[in-house]
Structures are given as structure tokens and as C-alpha cells.
Amino acid sequence: MRPLAVISGGGTGIGAAIAQGLSADGFDLVLVGRRAAPLAETASKLDGANTVVADLRDPGSAGVLLEAVGDREVGAIVNNAGGYLGRSGDDLPEIARQWRDTFDTNVMTAVVLTETLLPRLRRPDGRVILFSSIAAQRGGGGPYSAAKAALHGWALDLAVQLGPQGVTVNVISPGYVAETEFFAGRMTPHAHQSRVDQTLIGRAGSPEDIAQT
């Protein structure tokens, strides 16, 4: 039987590229996200891919995740869901809302998916992957940077917990990946070039670069 991978944020960008790579490597897939259309579009191009429309900020999504997995063992949990959330004002309630929503979007989505599927994770040789950001080390994103940094500490705790069972836990921190919804409509030519100039290879990363990591 083909191994199974579950990917959050699997409909677009880096998540879709990961799905394509794992499918080529012989994995069946469960792609999870909040929007049905991009999930369905990506899944339609892949063998053995199913989709789950769920909001992973809500622990109540655990039931639909378990239903999608059924009685199968999960070989890899890929936590790719997340994003930057702005705010509409500088009053304290709005600042607090932005922080809470950002942590829900970038941290709780990973917690809900991982903790839901841990009992089904293959032991040994299971994989847990968390997507952080270069902003976790460099800052510059306020609550987004802080939320992504939180994943690193949690990953270490998971590694200590699961390592003796033969499970690896890794954090990937992409830099500037231009071809993603994260940057869609936000980058001027000057801002794009400024980010490219900070790279060592003189170009923006691609979703495929990250998927091959």
C-alpha cells in the first residue's frame, strides 16, 4: 500500500508543490485547506489525492480529518497552513485581535493537525514537518514573526517526545518565495528587487525549491 501524507495549505503555492513532489514519490495524499476550489484543482492533477475542506484553527475539525484518514497509517504530516494577517487600526483591542488571529492561523493550525493525527502517525519512520519563515529569525513581521518563532520551540518538544519512537520533526523556514499567495499583490518591482538582492543566489525562491528541501 502506498504511504499517506496529510498536507495543510495543500491547494496552492508551496503546499501544492509539496503535494506534487510527494505524489511523484508514491504517496497518497490528503490535502487540507479552507477553500474547496484550489484544493480540488491541485488534487485533480495528482494520483491518489483526496481533499478536506476544514478550518484548522478550530479543534472541531479533528473529526473530519480522522474521517478522511480512515484506518490508514499516516507517513507524513506537513503543516504548511499559515499567513500574514494585518490590522485595521492601532487601538489595543485591534492589536490584540491581530496577535490572537495570527497565532491561531500559524500555530494552532499546526497544533490541531499534528495532535489529531499523532495517534495515526507511522512509528518508526514517521515525519512531522512544520513551516516557519525566515521572519522567525530576522523579525520584521510583528505577530507573524513571533508566531513562526513559536513553532521552533514546539518542534523541539515534539522531537524529544517522538524521536525515541523513530519519528523525525523538522522546521523549514523559507525566505522570499515570490510565486505564492503570501506575496500576491503586495510586491512592487522595487520591493521585489530589494528582497532578491538579499539572497545569496540572486533570485527569488520558488515553491518547487522549498518542496525539494
Active-site hit among 84, 103, 131, 144: 144
* Tens-place pLDDT, residues 26-74: 999 999 999 999 999 999 999 999 999 999 999 999 999 999 999 999 9
Mean pLDDT, the chain, rounded, equals 93
What's the confidence (pLDDT) of residue 200?
78
Q: Report the C-alpha gap between 29 and 7 in whole angstroms.
A: 7
Residues 6 or more apart whose CB falls under 8 angstroms from that of 91 comprise: none
Q: How confident is the model at residue 6 (pLDDT cuts 50, 70, 90)?
A: very high
Task: Judge whether 31 and 19 are in contact, CB under 8 Å.
Answer: yes
Asked whether the predicted pLDDT for residue 180 surpasses 90, the reply is no
Catalytic: 176?
Answer: no
Q: How confident is the model at residue 191 (pLDDT cuts 50, 70, 90)?
A: confident
Q: What is the pLDDT of residue 29?
A: 99
Q: How confident is the model at residue 183 (pLDDT cuts 50, 70, 90)?
A: low
Relative to beta strand 4-8, strand 76-79 is parallel
Helix (H) or strand (E) holding 171: strand 168-172
Residue 117 in 3-state DSSP? helix
The whole-angstrom separation of Cα 78 and Cα 31 is 10
Domain locations along the chain: 4-211
pLDDT of residue 185: 62
CATH 3.30.460.10 describes domain 4-211: no
CB neighbours of 42 closer than 8 A, spacing ≥ 6? 10, 11, 12, 16, 19, 20, 31, 49
Confidence band, pLDDT 50/70/90 cuts, at residue 213:
confident
In this predicted structure, the answer to whether residue 152 has a pLDDT above a threshold of 90 is yes
| Whether the predicted model's global pTM rises above the 0.85 cut | yes
Judged against a pLDDT cut of 90, whether residue 125 lies above it is answered with yes
Of the pLDDT bands very low, low, confident and very high (cuts 50, 70, 90), residue 203 is confident
pLDDT band, residue 161 (cuts 50/70/90) = very high
Q: Which range, of 16-25, 50-59, 194-203, averages the lowest pLDDT?
A: 194-203
Region of 14 on the Ramachandran plot (φ > 0 left; ψ -120 to 50 alpha; else beta): alpha
Question: By percentage, how much of the chain surpasses pLDDT 70?
Answer: 97
User: Locate cell 500576491: which residue?
Assistant: 184
Helix, strand and coil percent figures for the chain, each rounded to 5? 50, 15, 35
